[in-house]
Amino acid sequence: NPLRDDWVLVSAHRVKRPWQGQLEKPPPEDVPRWDPKNPLCPGATRANGEVNPKYEGTFVFPNDFPALQPDAPEPDDSDHPLFRAAPAQGVCKVMCFHPWSDLTLPLMSLPEIRAVIDAWAELATELGASYPWVQIFENKGAMMGCSNPHPHCQVWASSFLPNEACLEDRTQRQHLSQHGVPMLLEYAEQEAHRKERLVVENADWLVVVPYWATWPYQTLLLPRRHVCRLQDLSDSEKDSLASIMQRLLIKYDNLFEVSFPYSMGWHGAPTGAFLEQDCRHWQLHAHYYPPLLRSATVRKFMVGYEMLAQAQRDLTPEQAAERLRSLPEVHYK
């Protein structure tokens, strides 16, 4: 994986082994459209006592249980190099995609998905004016740690570059220096030509199961042109992004005919003070990490060898891409 500068063990026969392990519960099909006890619903009362407005589109509010705070205290000086600490400030926000709890992104209309993308870009611009990293991410489904079925994501802005951002910054910078072209721009061109791992594409975007995928049906969403940040997209690119997101997520749901769990997030060039620096080595992209492996109830566990040695996957990325690619683009519901 050139983006993380590490290796992935591919064991394509492992998916055939008998399974007597844990079976997951499929997500509930009877989520109420509106529940006054659900703190993300319009008009509901949240944990801090605030009442949500009766919003009709997207709704952004400060996370009531933030992992980062703008006034977090400075740590004490270390007395030894093996016991280092550094300050970490920031803000955490929650963004509801839609007022209805029984909708997910693949079931929303294109204008509704476009409104989500617009809100993402606005938050990236607003928080990126002062913070060097703005992480937009969605945990979908209880299997991925989502504590509320209402369609939503989180946005954490931090005073530091997180580990994954530092790693991608280094590898992309090295690639541009050595090859004269941004890594993921070159990679997108290669995948568009080879088509072995292509899932969906349109004039502005393509989705692939990356050559270095670790999760079974992991995908990478890439723009065709060189663009560093989400807020740099044109109106037409945001429209085509809404379309390709909908197509991908419908395929995900159709794979096992279930509301497909995943964690996804956007990575782009750092912001804050980095806005004044040369970030041409960066290429905007979104990672999708879904855990399901064999069915709606059998997931991939990243344990044992994966935790102690290196990532290992149970089918080839080409097999995963072919299976996703062949699925219909009309939602099974």
At 4-13, the pLDDT tens digits run 999 999 998 7
| Phi/psi at 201 (5° precision) | -155, 160
The pLDDT assigned to 294 comes to: 83
Q: What is the average per-residue pLDDT within 57-73?
A: 95
- Measured CA to CA, the distance from residue 279 to residue 176 in angstroms comes to 10
Q: What is the average per-residue pLDDT within 259-277?
A: 97
The pLDDT assigned to 28 comes to: 74
| Phi/psi at 120 (5° precision) | -60, -50
The position carrying tokens 């690619």 is 325
- Measured CA to CA, the distance from residue 307 to residue 127 in angstroms comes to 34
Instruction: Tell me which residue of 11, 29, 18 sits closest to 294, measured CA to CA.
Output: 18
pLDDT band at residue 18, thresholds of 50, 70 and 90?
Answer: low
- Measured CA to CA, the distance from residue 330 to residue 333 in angstroms comes to 8
pTM beyond 0.75, yes or no: yes
Burial state string for 126-157 with b = 16 or more CB within 10 A and e = fewer than 16: bbbeebbbbbbebbbbebbebeebbbbbbbbb
pLDDT over 70 (residue 224):
yes
pLDDT more than 70, % of the chain:
97
Q: How far is CA 51 from CA 15, 38, 88, 176, 194, in A?
A: 48, 11, 30, 49, 52
**DSSP conformation letters of 187-241:** HHHHHHHH-SSEEEE-SSEEEE--TT--STT-EEEEESS---SGGG--HHHHHHH
Q: What is the average per-residue pLDDT within 74-91?
A: 94
pLDDT over 70 (residue 201):
yes
The pLDDT assigned to 297 comes to: 82
**Comparing 14 with 61, which gets the higher pLDDT?**
61
pLDDT over 60 (residue 14):
yes
Q: What is the average per-residue pLDDT within 42-47?
A: 94
The pLDDT assigned to 13 comes to: 78
**Comparing 83 with 25, which gets the higher pLDDT?**
83
β-sheet bridge partners, residue 96: 59, 152
Instruction: Tell me which residue of 314, 236, 261 sits closest to 14, measured CA to CA.
Output: 314
pLDDT over 70 (residue 252):
yes
Does the annotation flag 225 for ligand binding? no
Q: What is the average per-residue pLDDT within 24-45?
A: 88
Q: What is the pLDDT of residues 86-134, one digit of tens each?
A: 999 999 999 999 999 999 999 999 999 999 999 999 999 999 999 999 9
Does the annotation flag 303 for ligand binding? no
Does the annotation flag 218 for ligand binding? no
Averaged pLDDT of the chain: 94
- Measured CA to CA, the distance from residue 43 to residue 179 in angstroms comes to 54
The pLDDT assigned to 141 comes to: 87
Q: What is the average per-residue pLDDT within 280-298?
A: 93
Q: What is the average per-residue pLDDT within 200-216?
A: 97
- Measured CA to CA, the distance from residue 132 to residue 114 in angstroms comes to 25
Does the annotation flag 262 for ligand binding? no
Q: What is the average per-residue pLDDT within 243-265?
A: 96
Catalytic residue set: 152
CATH architecture of structural domain 27-73+84-326? 2-Layer Sandwich (3.30)
pLDDT band at residue 300, thresholds of 50, 70 and 90?
Answer: confident
Q: Picking from 17-31, 286-300, 314-328, which range would have the lowest pLDDT averaged per residue? A: 17-31
The pLDDT assigned to 99 comes to: 97
Does the annotation flag 1 for ligand binding? no
Contact between 321 and 252 (Cβ < 8 Å): no
Q: Which residues contact 103 (CB under 8 A, 6 or more apart)?
A: 97, 151
When computed from its CA atoms, the radius of gyration of the chain, rounded to whole angstroms, is 20
Burial of residue 245, with CB atoms counted within 10 A of its CB: 0-12 exposed, 13-18 middle, 19 or more buried = buried
The pLDDT assigned to 17 comes to: 65
The pLDDT assigned to 102 comes to: 94
**For the CA atoms of 65, 68, 69, 70, what is the dihedral angle to 10 degrees?**
-150
Q: What is the average per-residue pLDDT within 77-92?
A: 95
Contact between 238 and 135 (Cβ < 8 Å): no
pLDDT more than 90, % of the chain:
86
Contact between 123 and 95 (Cβ < 8 Å): yes
Instruction: Tell me which residue of 135, 144, 155 sits closest to 286, measured CA to CA.
Output: 135
Q: Picking from 137-141, 290-294, 326-330, which range would have the lowest pLDDT averaged per residue? A: 290-294
The pLDDT assigned to 22 comes to: 67
The pLDDT assigned to 142 comes to: 80
